[in-house]
Amino acid sequence: MSKTSKTIQEKTTELTDLVAWFDSDEFSLEEALDKFKLAETLASDIEKDLLALKNDIQVVKQKFDSVD
Amino acid sequence: MEKPQSLNPIFSVSDFIAVVNQTLDFAYPNVEIEGEVSSFKVNQGKFVFFDLKDAGGSVGCFMMVFQLRVPIEDGMKVVVSAVPKLTQWGKFSLTVKAIRPSGEGSLKKSFELLRAKLDKEGLFAPERKRLLPRIPSHVAVISSTQAAGYADFIKILGDRWGGVKVDVAHVQVQGDSAPDQIIKAINYFNTQQDLPEVLVIIRGGGSADDLATFNDEPLVRAIAASRIPTLVGVGHEVDESLADMVADVRAATPSNAAQILVPDKHEIIRSVGAQLQSLIPRMMRTIESYEVDIRTKLNRALELAVAAVDNRSAQVESLKSILSQLDPRTVLARGYALLRGEAVVGNKVEIETNKAILRAEVLDVKNK
Please say if the pLDDT value at position B283 is more than 90: no
User: What DSSP letter does each residue of B304-339 carry, written as one string?
Assistant: HHHHHHHHHHHHHHHHHHHHHHH-HHHHHHTT--EE
Interface residues of A toward B, Cβ cutoff 8 Å, are: 1-2, 4-5, 8-9, 12, 15-16, 19, 22-23, 27, 29, 32-33, 36, 39-40, 43, 46-47, 50-60, 62, 64-65
Mean local confidence (pLDDT), B98-119: 89
Please say if the pLDDT value at position A5 is more than 70: no
Higher pLDDT, B145 or B324: B145
pLDDT tens-place string over residues A21-52: 988 889 888 898 899 999 999 999 989 988 88
Q: Do B268 and A50 touch (CB under 8 A)?
A: yes
As a whole number, the mean pLDDT across chain A is 84
Instruction: Provide the pLDDT for residue B196.
Output: 97
Instruction: Provide the pLDDT for residue A6.
Output: 52
Please say if the pLDDT value at position A3 is more than 50: no
E strand intervals along B114-243 = 138-143, 165-170, 198-203, 230-234
Cβ of B73: how many Cβ atoms within 10 Å? 13
Please say if the pLDDT value at position B70 is more than 90: no
Question: Which one of A50, A54, A58 would you mutate to disrupt binding with B, by most B Cβ within 10 Å of its Cβ?
Answer: A50
Q: Do A58 and B167 touch (CB under 8 A)?
A: yes
Instruction: Provide the pLDDT for residue A67.
Output: 59
Question: Which one of B279, B293, B294 would you mutate to disrupt binding with A, by most A Cβ within 10 Å of its Cβ?
Answer: B279
Distance CA B244, CA B254 (A): 12
Chains A, B: CB contacts under 8 A, how many?
A: 106
Which of B157, B167, B272 shows the shortest C-beta gap to A15? Answer: B272
Write the CB contacts of B298 (distance below 8 Å, at least 6 apart in sequence). none
- Please, are residues B239 and B214 in contact by the beta-carbon 8 Å criterion? no
Residue of B nearest to A52 (CA): B162
Residue of A nearest to B145 (CA): A59
Which DSSP category does B358 fall into? Answer: E
E strand intervals along chain B = 31-43, 47-54, 57-64, 77-86, 92-101, 138-143, 165-170, 198-203, 230-234, 249-251, 338-340, 348-352, 357-361
Q: State the pLDDT confidence band at A2, using cuts at 50, 70 and 90.
A: very low
For residue A58, the chain B residues in CB contact (below 8 A) are: 165-168
Provide the edge-to-edge strand list for the sheet that holds B357-361.
B338-340, B348-352, B357-361
Residue of A nearest to B157 (CA): A55
Q: Do B188 and A52 touch (CB under 8 A)?
A: no
Query: What is this structure's pTM?
Result: 0.70
Please say if the pLDDT value at position B43 is more than 60: yes
